[in-house]
Structure 1
Amino acid sequence: MLKYELIYYDLCTRIHNADLPSGAKLPSIRQLAHQFSCSKSTILTALQKLEDQHLIYAIPKSGYYVVDHQIAQKPTSTNIIDFATSSPTWHAFPYQDFQHCMNKAIDTYQTDLFKYGTAKGLPSLISEAKKLLESYQVFTDNSNIFITSGVQQALSLLSLMPFPNNHKTILVEQPSYHLYMDFLKTYKLPAIGIKRSTNGIDLKELEQIFRKNEIKFFYTMPRFHNPLGTSYSKKEKEAILYLANQYDVYIVEDDFLADFEYNSKRDPMFAIDTNDRVIYLKSFSKIMFPGLRIGFAILPSVLINIFQQHKNTTDIDSSMISQAALELYLKSGMFERYRAQVHENYHKRGKILQHSIKTHLPMYQASSEICMHSHIVFPKEVDLNRIIHYLSQKQILFNPIDHNYLTDFYRERILKINVSTIEDEKIEGGIKEIANTLNNLDNYF
């Protein structure tokens, strides 16, 4: 091992052990050279390596200081089977690649970081977003694309701002995205639900709701619905669009799992909309990481100005550094390579999940989609909360369905299943344990 490497590891150990805590000043170059009996250039080489890894920073004419003594956590093996967590597997993300983009973004856009951003988003990211959206069969102009702080911001703005149809009531599938359900309940916005099941929605009921209520927009996840994991057919999407146009209703399409589509012939609802009824939303929370807080909203031209006004009062712009880093990540081809890898891994997990449900729970209604999340519907007499509690004691974790519903809407006995963070080899064992629990209800309860 070279001398500078020995010095580097010695200092690295002292930093990680908090012998040199955050903010501490390192000994001077002269002191270190004396301590390690080497030249100043050897010390500088070791310090440069520490600086490159963001462990220390230099202050001219003062010295070197510790940034942070904490080290990144490493994934540890556990016996827990977590069917509850829907976030992506963090340690699978190539964070060093994205770190390159962050550092390069700071260098490239350093002057822009000291200015307020543009209300629509970083123009260069919007251009890259347009190219990416085309891979989802979403073709639009740059002027229709807004960068938002995740899908939540776009949903809140759309829910609060007026629409050209002057309607007030929001229609949502039940169950649906839990954070949006919480938003509607928190702000006490006028909202009603329509049941969505493994078989989709009742189109006759949808028409009745559109006809009898002044529906502002219908919030839907046509592809890989959260939490059900089901998708609409092209015929269903066409029927929904026809009714929306007939009754002057807008469609808010949340296509959060577009990156995991395995059927090349299945396009988003936006792609078949000919009347500018669809508002298309896309985030990076599942394909990259939720902390990025970047999403896209593609709006009909008639909504651009009012959306812009409301966004200006919420924030001046989404995080500039996140936008700049994402632009470079897209432009460099890193995102495409990572997306292909994650798509393959999650598709594999989805197939294991489907096979396991069909093998061990064939008598229960469930989604047939190959997706990282799915569901099982149980009879009314099953006390699902007790089953979830019992399985948690066996280190098999689930989230209840309650938060996915509006307050007064009937809740079916649905068990949500997500395999985003579970090792492949644990999936079938977890599903088998659900089956064992159901087969022995009388013994356990």
Structure 2
Amino acid sequence: MIFTTVDRKSSKSLTQQVYEQIRNGILDGKLKEGQKLLSSRELAKIINVSRNVVLEAYHRLLAEGYIEVKPRSGTFIAKGTSLEHIGAKKLDIEKKQKEELEDSIIDFRGGNPAIDHFPRKKWGDLTKKICNESPQSIFGYSSACGIQELRDVLVSYLRRARGVHCQPEQIIITSGATQGLKLITELLITDKKRDYIAVEDPVTDEMRNIFTYAKAEIYPVSVDENGIIPELLPKEKPNFVFVIPSHQYPLGGILSIQRRLKLIEYARRMNCYIVEDDYDSEFTYEGAPVPAMQGIDQERVLYVGTFSKILSPALRIGYVVLPAHLVGEFQKLKWFTDRHTSTLEQHTLARFIEGGYLDKHIRKMRKIYQERRLVLVNSIQKYFHQAKIIGKAAGMHLVVEMAGIDFKKELVQKIKEKGVCIYPVEEYSIKKGEHTQKIIMGYGGLTPEQIKKGILLLRDALNEYKG
């Protein structure tokens, strides 16, 4: 018998404690099928409880099928009640080892924000205030478009910060930019046999997967260090052109005003839309941020933004700014997808922006990311003299080109085994073979010390590979 004692100070009843210890012993395999249990009188005496406590626990175990009573023989563990834990324990050990390994790896994934700087106290204070002081109505169902308070503050914030021109009615709050882009694709792709999307190449695999999941055809348009190349746009009308003009992912180019105007002229001529993903435009370290394309043409540009990169990926709030004539159909799609985005978080975010806390947080993070970028650039230049750094001084990542090194899967795996995760640009390319010597290096979620150590490990891994 596995019993040791019961805790009389526990909030659990004595009967519950006896029941749980026997049941867990059976499930863990410590009590085997067919094994005889002590009589209720013997067990009660050993653990110093009344016999009724043990009888009640036994009756419950009997009712649930864990034990069986054989007349004149006693009480036994029933057949079919033990779980095979050998394999499970092995998996648990392997999982723990894998988690420990992952925790020790320095991950240069692009787009990872510095979650250690999330403004917990202010966010918590605002959330508590909203829960305590707001009317009961905020705890009910809300509009699929999002709460009015957040849409109102977004109008002034986006006009001031990004040059976006819109009315609150044109904004629909989404569960992150991913949902916004998915709904846009569903809205604008009507004939899956004929419709297609012109997409920057290379482009983040998340965006590409959204489009292909919707069974949309993709027309890749090459980008250079200055963003998408308008002259390479398709001659036939696409349903929309997808661009990240503020800091192209992954190559990091900022689309010039000349290219922006060419792109808008193209959309007007082709009678199609431009979908502008503006995911980390707040972080520019040289000069002023270039205003959004939506500010130039509100009828042709659908503007997508998110707070996942500014604040935290855990905050699943994004938004889409739509031409007025598309709002109704988009709202229906949003409603049928998830009814509405978390209302409480929307209220907190509205207060956070209105109180000036978002602007303050962005200023703080801009300094932190600029410092981390400088550490990364200096470390690369110190240990990789021939490396070329690609991308403007913006966002949370840059691209490094290392001549003579082909970042194939085998090499990437060997580097990971040394404790560093890097991401070849080639993995994000639709047309293969053009970016084999380039890797993405994100710095947003890494401390300066991690960045320095990561570059040293990368150098050692590449030297060993070459040797």
TM band (smaller chain): 0.7 to 0.9
Is 1:353 paired with 2:379?
no
Q: Matches of 2:409 and 2:190 in 1, distance apart?
A: 43
Residue in 1 that maps onto 2:241: 218
* C-alpha contact (below 8 Å) 1:81/1:395 kept by paired residues: yes
The 1:286–1:307 alpha-carbon spacing in structure 2 relative to 1, beyond 3 Å, is same
* C-alpha contact (below 8 Å) 2:144/2:340 kept by paired residues: yes
* C-alpha contact (below 8 Å) 1:220/1:252 kept by paired residues: yes
Q: Matches of 2:349 and 2:227 in 1, distance apart?
A: 35
The 1:411–1:321 alpha-carbon spacing in structure 2 relative to 1, beyond 3 Å, is farther
Is 1:169 paired with 2:193?
no
The 1:383–1:94 alpha-carbon spacing in structure 2 relative to 1, beyond 3 Å, is closer
Residue in 2 that maps onto 1:290: 313
Is 1:243 paired with 2:266?
yes
CA-atom RMSD in angstroms:
2.8
Is 1:103 paired with 2:141?
no
| SS of residue in 2 equivalent to 1:246 | helix
Deviation at 1:236, TM superposition (A): 1.6
Q: Matches of 2:410 and 2:257 in 1, distance apart?
A: 39
* C-alpha contact (below 8 Å) 2:272/2:300 kept by paired residues: yes
Q: Deviations over 1:267-293 (max 9, x none)?
A: 22222x236211111101111011111
| SS of residue in 1 equivalent to 2:228 | coil
Residue in structure 2 matching 1:274, options 285, 292, 297: 297
* C-alpha contact (below 8 Å) 2:418/2:461 kept by paired residues: no
The 1:278–1:360 alpha-carbon spacing in structure 2 relative to 1, beyond 3 Å, is farther
Is 1:412 paired with 2:418?
no
Residue in 2 that maps onto 1:309: 332
The 1:265–1:338 alpha-carbon spacing in structure 2 relative to 1, beyond 3 Å, is closer
Is 1:138 paired with 2:164?
yes
Residue in 2 that maps onto 1:194: 221
Report which stretch shifted further, 190-199 or 353-362.
Answer: 353-362
Is 1:160 paired with 2:186?
yes
Q: Matches of 2:105 and 2:403 in 1, distance apart?
A: 27
Residue in structure 2 matching 1:92, options 112, 117, 127: 117
* C-alpha contact (below 8 Å) 1:198/1:365 kept by paired residues: no
The residue type equivalent to 2:423 in the other structure is: N
Q: Matches of 1:237 and 1:21 in 2, distance apart?
A: 67
Greater RCO (CA < 8 Å, at least 6 residues apart): 1
Q: Matches of 2:215 and 2:434 in 1, distance apart?
A: 20
Residue in 1 that maps onto 2:364: 341
* C-alpha contact (below 8 Å) 1:228/1:373 kept by paired residues: no
The residue type equivalent to 2:202 in the other structure is: P
Q: Matches of 1:228 and 1:153 in 2, distance apart?
A: 24
The 1:304–1:223 alpha-carbon spacing in structure 2 relative to 1, beyond 3 Å, is same
* C-alpha contact (below 8 Å) 2:418/2:457 kept by paired residues: no
Residue in 1 that maps onto 2:254: 231
Deviation at 1:123, TM superposition (A): 0.2
| Number of aligned positions between the proteins | 364
Report which stretch shifted further, 193-202 or 326-335.
Answer: 193-202
The 1:20–1:338 alpha-carbon spacing in structure 2 relative to 1, beyond 3 Å, is farther
Q: Matches of 1:239 and 1:357 in 2, distance apart?
A: 36
Report which stretch shifted further, 389-398 or 371-380.
Answer: 371-380
Residue in structure 2 matching 1:387, options 411, 414, 432: 411
Q: Matches of 2:423 and 2:318 in 1, distance apart?
A: 25
Tell me the TM-score normalized by structure 1.
Answer: 0.74
| SS of residue in 2 equivalent to 1:196 | strand
| SS of residue in 2 equivalent to 1:204 | helix
Deviation at 1:365, TM superposition (A): 4.1
Q: Matches of 2:114 and 2:298 in 1, distance apart?
A: 39
Residue in 2 that maps onto 1:320: 343
Report which stretch shifted further, 111-120 or 82-91.
Answer: 82-91
Deviation at 1:165, TM superposition (A): 12
The 1:405–1:111 alpha-carbon spacing in structure 2 relative to 1, beyond 3 Å, is farther
The alignment-based identity, stated in percent, is 24
Unaligned runs of 5+ in 1: 1-18, 23-77
Q: Which runs of 4+ in 1 moved over 4 A?
A: 19-22, 163-167, 378-381, 400-403, 408-411, 435-441
Deviation at 1:316, TM superposition (A): 1.8
Q: Matches of 1:165 and 1:250 in 2, distance apart?
A: 16
The residue type equivalent to 1:335 in the other structure is: L
Residue in 2 that maps onto 1:66: none
The 1:433–1:199 alpha-carbon spacing in structure 2 relative to 1, beyond 3 Å, is farther
Report which stretch shifted further, 322-331 or 113-122.
Answer: 113-122
* C-alpha contact (below 8 Å) 1:384/1:415 kept by paired residues: no
* C-alpha contact (below 8 Å) 1:230/1:369 kept by paired residues: yes
Deviation at 1:168, TM superposition (A): 2.1
Q: Matches of 1:164 and 1:218 in 2, distance apart?
A: 15
Report which stretch shifted further, 217-226 or 184-193.
Answer: 184-193
Q: Highest Rg: 1 or 2?
A: 2
| SS of residue in 1 equivalent to 2:239 | strand
Deviation at 1:384, TM superposition (A): 3.0
The residue type equivalent to 1:158 in the other structure is: I
Q: Matches of 1:140 and 1:275 in 2, distance apart?
A: 8
The 1:265–1:258 alpha-carbon spacing in structure 2 relative to 1, beyond 3 Å, is closer
Deviation at 1:162, TM superposition (A): 3.5
| SS of residue in 1 equivalent to 2:144 | coil
Residue in structure 2 matching 1:377, options 384, 401, 408: 401
Residue in 2 that maps onto 1:148: 174
Report which stretch shifted further, 165-174 or 149-158.
Answer: 165-174
Unaligned runs of 5+ in 2: 1-8, 13-102
Q: Matches of 1:84 and 1:130 in 2, distance apart?
A: 32
Residue in 2 that maps onto 1:264: 288
The 1:20–1:234 alpha-carbon spacing in structure 2 relative to 1, beyond 3 Å, is farther
Q: Matches of 1:141 and 1:199 in 2, distance apart?
A: 31
